[in-house]
Structures are given as structure tokens and as C-alpha cells.
Amino acid sequence: MAVVLGNVALRFIPVSFSEAIGATTPAWTAVIAFLLLNTIESAVVYATLLPVILGIVMAVGGEPSFHVVGLFAAFASTACRALKSVLQGVLLSTDEDRMDALNLLHWMSIVAVIVLLPTALLLEPGLAADLQKESYVFHAGLLFNSMLAYFVNLTNFLVTRHTSALTLQVLGNAKGVLMVIISIALFHNEVSVIGMLGYAIAVFGVATYAYAKQTTKPSAR
């Protein structure tokens, strides 16, 4: 659902806007970890999430390419991604039946195929014929994209296992900044001054969070 909703969002809003909304994932992750696992971060860590949220609110308010469907799809995708990270953290850290990164990726891949294959056949019955019409460049790009997705998931699991789900999402915001820059350079989508200021504030929140996590530890309720 995180991937599907993220793709839906990209049909209506530019990559830079989608990445800006995705920067709120740490806040979603902190809330979900609190509700499901009773994990309580220090007050300082929670406070560092406020600039991230404020920056995204400013970015949304100053976004010229605003679209309601894209906005809700992006936020729903972000919430699903946060929930996924928390659940992955549980599977990778539970002492009784801890999984390693490759094992988790293996089982997730099987579930993904079971869910997506019949869905694709139902919604896109002519998919195989359409793919045959595409050039070798398209197929090469599709294969390369799949390989990148594999390594992204694998490294995400490794980071989650050795740190935490919340740290993974905050580090992901650094990627978001790069995505915004590349998006603007490639697609030339308009970004307002307020939007850029919002991105900058969000980045500041990421930096302060990283410092706070180094000096504090979460506790259980």
C-alpha cells in the first residue's frame, strides 16, 4: 500500500512535493511506535520532530502544484511506510524469533508477488502485450529499477536492525532533499520561496534529531 499510494500521489503532484510530505514519516513512526510498542522517546527527540513537521506544512502551503488527491495519497503512503518500518523493527529485533535482513526480504517478496500479481492481471489484462511493445531501453530501465528496489529494501532492513525504525525514517529525509533538487533540475517544476524555506526548516529538524538521538535513549512505557 505504501508503494501503490506513493505512485498514485506522483500522478497528481511533483516528486519534490511528494518527498516533502514524505519527510513527515519520522513523526508518523514515533506515534505508531508509541501506540503499538509503548516506545517513548525523550522529550528532546520529540521536540526535534516539530521543525520537520513545520517545514513540511510550509512546503505544502507554498506548493504551486497542490492537488487534493495527490496530497492525501502521499500522506496515506507516508503513514503506511511508517507502520511498515515499525513492524520491520519488531521482526528484526525480537529475541525469540529474530529475522535477518535477507530472510525478511525473502518473505516480503513472496507476499508482494501473491498480492500484486493477481491485482496486475485484473487491473491491467493487456500488460504483457504492452510490455512486448516497449523498447529494450524500457526493459533495461525496469530491470535496473527492480535491482535498486532490492538494495534499498535490504539496506533499510540493515539500518532498522542496527538502529531503529525512527532513525531510518529521519535518515531518509536526507535522501528527500536530494530528490527535491534532482526533481527540480529534471522536471523544472516550480517551487516557491516559502516552499524552499519549508524544505530548509525540515532539513534543520533532521540534523537536530540526529544529534538528539546520539545523546538520549528511548524507554518503554
The pTM assigned to this predicted structure is: 0.64
pLDDT in tens, 38-97: 877 778 878 887 887 787 777 666 656 668 888 899 999 989 988 988 888 888 776 666
Q: What is the pLDDT of residue 61?
A: 62
Across 124-146, b (16+ Cβ under 10 Å) vs e yields eeeeeeeeeeeeeeeeeeeeeee
pLDDT in tens, 108-166: 888 888 988 888 888 777 776 777 777 788 888 888 988 888 888 888 777 777 776 66
C-alpha radius of gyration, the chain, whole number: 19
- Cβ contacts of 210 within 8 Å, gap of 6 or more: 170, 171
Length of the chain: 221
Domain of residue 55, residue span: 2-220
Total number of domains constituting the chain: 1
